[in-house]
Amino acid sequence: MLLHVGIDDTDSPKGGCTTYIAATLIQKFVKMGVRFADYPILLRLNPNAPWKTRGNGAICLRIEFDDELEFKIKKTIIEEVEKQADFNCDNTNPGIVFHKGSIPEEMEYFSKKVVQTIVKLEEAEELINKFCCNAIGFKNRRGLIGALAAIGGTLKEDHTFELLTYRLPQYRGKKRILDKKSVFEMDKLETETFNNIDYDTNQILIAPRGPDPVLYGIRGETAESVFNGFKIVKPIEPVECWIIYRSNQGTDQHIEKKYKISELKEFNPATIHAKILKMPWIILGGHVIFKIYDDTGEIDCSVYEPSGKFREIIRELRPEDEVIVSGSIKKIEESLTVNVEKIEILNLVDIMKLSNPKCPKCGSATESMGIGQGLRCKKCGYRDLTLTKNIEKVDRKIKVKTYLPPPRAERHLTKPLKRYGIEKKLFNELLFQPWHS
């Protein structure tokens, strides 16, 4: 029997992690003789969902086993979710979905929709009733949406890998400490990994800061690359277990869909082809605002102070520059705003400036004598009514290319620049060994 198990919405701001539930189940399933048809799937959902905690990730386990194990396996899954989920948190509403056999196209479409928009529970329940063998929703049952999306997240095309390590219970809640030198060495040697370090600040990015059980995670192009990175990194505490997940992280899946400005909705990620309407300006806190327009309307775009040097790129934009802006749609004082995650500059307008010519007699600088009165040399006093100002093209400090914030300000789903041009077109179903321990 091939069973797909989707789980979502088990953690809270106080702790917990849906991926850790997957890690716990994997260890138990191995002892039961269960076979894995795929790496566990870590599907990052819409990062703008107002009820999300941290990375908004759902998981799916695709497992094969003899029919007589079905009841025991499902019972194990339910008990583990009930044991680990934070039911005391109002915003934690776990969901478990079981699906047998192949994945229908409708479920794959639903999965992308959950990554790119806000989806109602009724839509998930309709698909569950149509295709799935069982589902269990706790409290308001919102976790069923992400659980079903994780099952539909087949990631047949572009995907990445993440090796997550987990902490022993006695270390959770304490400061994570890694050998910083080993992380730099790993980043240098394992070139197929990404977003390990922010080199502007020398900040280590692989360790989270929250109370969850994750110690650190290494993201990369292949399972082998993240495993090799794991062998180099030296944590200053023991690792309880580790798992390699296949994921939509670093793929831009959330911003694949292009919108007109008039189509934008709050909480949705979006990509907009537009032109700059007004010069960028700075507001209190160091945030940079600029306005774009297309044939359906106009909208403000925000680049926040943590984006660092990315703000300097934005400040170089000028009216009529042609751009593709990607980001999340937020409502501020009843108006929609794009929180910018990426900008692709398609065309830069020419900017011209006027300058006084050099004196034809001595080569010194000239100055205007007033409207219609020509120019005068500041040094030798030479005057000429026929001299006119030079028209010069200003060199733009930005180029026609794609710009991203520094890695420390990138979201889980944002595709790093080093991944451009190497996106995957298919999935190799032969699992790298070892992929868990």
pLDDT at position 191:
97
Same domain, 167 and 225: yes
pLDDT at position 388:
82
The H or E element spanning position 127 is helix 121-131
pLDDT at position 385:
84
Same domain, 182 and 287: no
pLDDT at position 368:
86
Closest to 15 (Cα-Cα) out of 84, 93, 77, 95: 84
Contacts of 236 (CB under 8 A, 6+ apart): 177, 178, 179
Same domain, 220 and 293: no
pLDDT at position 343:
98
Same domain, 214 and 284: no
Residue pair 408/208 in contact by the 8 Å Cβ criterion = no
pLDDT at position 67:
94
pLDDT at position 186:
98
pLDDT at position 154:
97
Q: How far apart are the first and last CA of the chain?
A: 24
Same domain, 142 and 175: no
Neighbours of 297 (CB within 10 A): 14
Those residues of the chain that have pLDDT short of 50 are none
Residue pair 164/242 in contact by the 8 Å Cβ criterion = yes
The pLDDT tens digits for 309-330 are 999 999 999 999 999 999 999 9
For residue 92, tell me if it sits in a domain. yes
For residue 424, tell me if it sits in a domain. no
pLDDT at position 156:
94
Instruction: Give, as one character, the DSSP assignment of residue 356.
Output: P
Closest to 220 (Cα-Cα) out of 182, 247, 239, 184: 247
Question: Which structural domain range is residue 193 located in?
Answer: 160-247
For residue 372, tell me if it sits in a domain. yes
pLDDT at position 384:
87
> Where a domain ends, among 247, 273, 298?
247
Q: Is the pTM of this model over 0.75?
A: yes
**Residue whose entry in the numeric block shows the structure tokens 């929250």:** 210
For residue 41, the Cα-to-chain-centroid distance in whole angstroms is 16
The H or E element spanning position 165 is strand 160-167
Same domain, 28 and 95: yes
For residue 415, tell me if it sits in a domain. no
